[in-house]
Structure 1
């Protein structure tokens, strides 16, 4: 019996903002909750971030009004400020429980920052496609929230 290979995908997006602002989108709860659930029919019910290696984030999100159909818990396995994050993610809810590893690289480019995302370890092609669509929405959502105030400490 052969095991089904775990699936992965890569996405990238360039933002007209400094790396510090894009980094803050992943490491500040007030910013993460703005883009982590870009579907207007859904809401984020709770969002916490512990911004350090070994820390991570916890988010509850889902359909309105409650917004608690799904939970995502991520641990920052690698935390290299404004350069690289590696997250071990568990997404679970009504109809799923999926583990993945997400690597986020932030590269300086002319006029801004390129984010390279790799998501690995997905269990099947359908899940990989759902996650790819979700992350595509999220990367678009980040674009709306990496303005000048994103890099400021709060």
Structure 2
């Protein structure tokens, strides 16, 4: 099956080591992994190795809806790259590139067919923007 590739990016004013820790540590993931303030990420787990599991619970704060975002890591290069395959076969890869005292974070993900590509891009970008804010606060 072929998926449309979507790219999002943010320049984070923090070194790659800090950015990597914020991206890959469950305690940090639960503080940024949601697209808007009416959502939350109450739990996350990370087995950061090829073949290891990634899981994040995403829920509306009012309890009206929630889902588990589950994947298996495909490639892990500390401080540089992490990719995983979702349960439906889609892939997401995030790279971390040092730039001018900060880190350029770029995610390329396969869009799913249920929602518009624009809606998915906006949602994933909003999550990345939350990540940027969190990582810069460390």
Give the TM bin, normalised by the shorter chain.
Answer: 0.7 to 0.9
How far, CA to CA, are the matches of 1:76 and 1:24 in structure 2? 16
Pick which of 123-132 and 80-89 moved more: 123-132
How far, CA to CA, are the matches of 2:122 and 2:65 in structure 1? 20
Extract unaligned runs of 5+ from structure 2.
none
Q: Secondary structure of 2:30's partner? A: helix
Q: Which residue of 2 aligns with 1:152?
A: none
How far, CA to CA, are the matches of 2:34 and 2:20 in structure 1? 17
> In the alignment, is the contact (CA less than 8 A) between 1:57 and 1:75 conserved in 2?
yes
Q: Which residue of 2 aligns with 1:102?
A: 92
> In the alignment, is the contact (CA less than 8 A) between 1:21 and 1:148 conserved in 2?
no
1:114 aligns with 2:104: yes
Cα distance change of structure 1 residues 99 and 84 upon mapping to structure 2, 3 Å threshold: same
Tell me how large the CA RMSD over aligned residues is.
Answer: 2.2
Cα distance change of structure 1 residues 137 and 148 upon mapping to structure 2, 3 Å threshold: closer
CA offsets per residue over residues 56-75 of structure 1, 9 Å max, x none?
Answer: 32111121233762110021
Aligned length in residues: 138
Deviation at 1:84, TM superposition (A): 0.8
Deviation at 1:115, TM superposition (A): 0.9
Which is higher, the Rg of structure 1 or of structure 2? 1
Q: Structure 1: which 4+ aligned runs deviate by more than 4 Å?
A: none
Find the partner of 2:79 among 77, 82, 98. 82
Extract unaligned runs of 5+ from structure 1.
91-97, 150-154
